[in-house]
Amino acid sequence: MKKINYKKEINTSKILADCRPDWCFWLNNGKVLHNIYELLDALISMDDFTFKYHVNGEKDDFVKWINEVICDKTLAKELLTVKNREDYVNKVKKRIKQLEKNNY
């Protein structure tokens, strides 16, 4: 019989779910993000100015939101050293696939 890790399942579901409305991420272009899927879509379509506004040598707003609101410390840690949009997209996409696989 397969042992179920309930803590892992709960965390995975939370990471993939919408956050509370008052914890949404507001991009500097006015777009509002509610979950990791919307973050991925926004990263794919956003211009370089918007990305650099949120990810630069002084701060990484996405890492902070992923760590504190989405509660995915693994992804946040992986993104700490990423400073270009293409690598960011690839890491977020890979993490979503990993989480979806573990969730189902």
pLDDT band at 10 (very low <50, low <70, confident <90, very high): very low
Contact yes or no for 71/11 (Cβ under 8 A): yes
Whether 62 has a pLDDT exceeding 60, the answer reads yes
Q: Find where tokens 């609101």 sit.
A: 69
Domain range annotation of the chain: 6-103
What is the model's pTM? 0.87
Residue 29 confidence (pLDDT) above 90: yes
- Tell me what pLDDT residue 36 has: 97
Phi, psi of 3 (to 5 degrees): -80, 130
Query: If residue 26 lies in a helix (H) or strand (E), which one and from where to where?
Result: strand 25-26
d(CA 81, CA 60) in angstroms, rounded, equals: 10
Burial level of 51, CB count in 10 A (0-12/13-18/19+)? buried
- Give the HSE-up count for residue 56: Cα atoms under 13 Å, Cβ half-sphere: 8
- Residue 104 pLDDT: 59
pLDDT tens-digit map of 85-101: 999 999 999 999 999 98
C-alpha pair distances (Å), 47 with each of 32, 50, 54, 79, 101 = 15, 6, 11, 19, 30
pLDDT of residue 7: 44
Average pLDDT over residues 50-58: 96
